[in-house]
Structure 1
């Protein structure tokens, strides 16, 4: 047996065949992660590690969005295996983001939600971002404005509006995540949204919505009648 070939090459060959013939749905979550890790650490049985990772992070979504430091705390995870997971997540985000960029955002709302959830739903740090749209509601910029502590992100109204002017935005969509998992808007969320909307109105910059992302779902302040 070659040193580069593990003793479970038959098992991996079967996984590869099922993947090639049936696509991703042909493999269970732990098998997808197992095979991905096997590409990074080929001389090791990666099934136990895959199962341990999924258990630790609560599933494939939590695992792929986990930060590198959290992954490094898991026995058996090194720089190469961490990079494999992060590149898989980055590729997935590029795929879903492409569907958002190709059509007017308001006519492609579910794709936008899918993108935001994939990127933010399991993030342990609160992030506030602004989606800038042109007059045709096409996405022209997706910018993270601030990263906060575990429960808050600093939002500066003047800075949000200044950036919208710089980009020539006709409208913006505010987005942030709740690391607690509950997307219900707080009083502060509502107040900051109304303040930004009022400031934008004076400059003909519309605030279409403020979307809050959590592990348990999302909340739209527009749909809730709060703006």
Structure 2
């Protein structure tokens, strides 16, 4: 899990830099310092494979993020995979791929003398995990997708950034729930129980490694 920790630390640094590079309005301290969410407190999803690879989306359009956006949707998907998935050992491997991780904005109202202009934010997250046999043949898969929408005041840069941070975190929480449901539904036979705390597992000569996509909700 060292890779996940290093990436969250790096992102936190980027957020702090972004807070100083805006249009004269730094992001709220809580938003700038929070970094991506952690799912490490949840029970690991242990798959009976020797290795799990986490692959980011290859198409830039699949990770379109309209600023201000202090938290990258694609980073949230990767963090979820790194924190939740674990290789329990066994034949074959698993490949987790981010398919879509976008945050878009559109005008929801121009406002007037007594009303404030508003914008509609939409965050879409989709991922897929594939099981691959030692011979390279597909041996199963699970997919998850979520969509979060919200209409917020198109206020200051800091207010818009805070709204974006909120919706991306909520979408990430939704994806975490949906992904676990789909994994247990489609790959149940490959799931293994967490190690017993009374009798720790004997380390293997080569430990399994993990390297580094719902439903629709409105808020």
Q: Fold match, TM over 0.5?
A: no
Higher relative strand content: 2
- The TM-score, its normalising length taken from structure 1, stands at 0.27
Report which structure shows greater RCO (CA 8 Å, sep ≥6): 2
Name the TM-score, length of structure 2 as normaliser: 0.27
* Structure with bigger gyration radius: 1
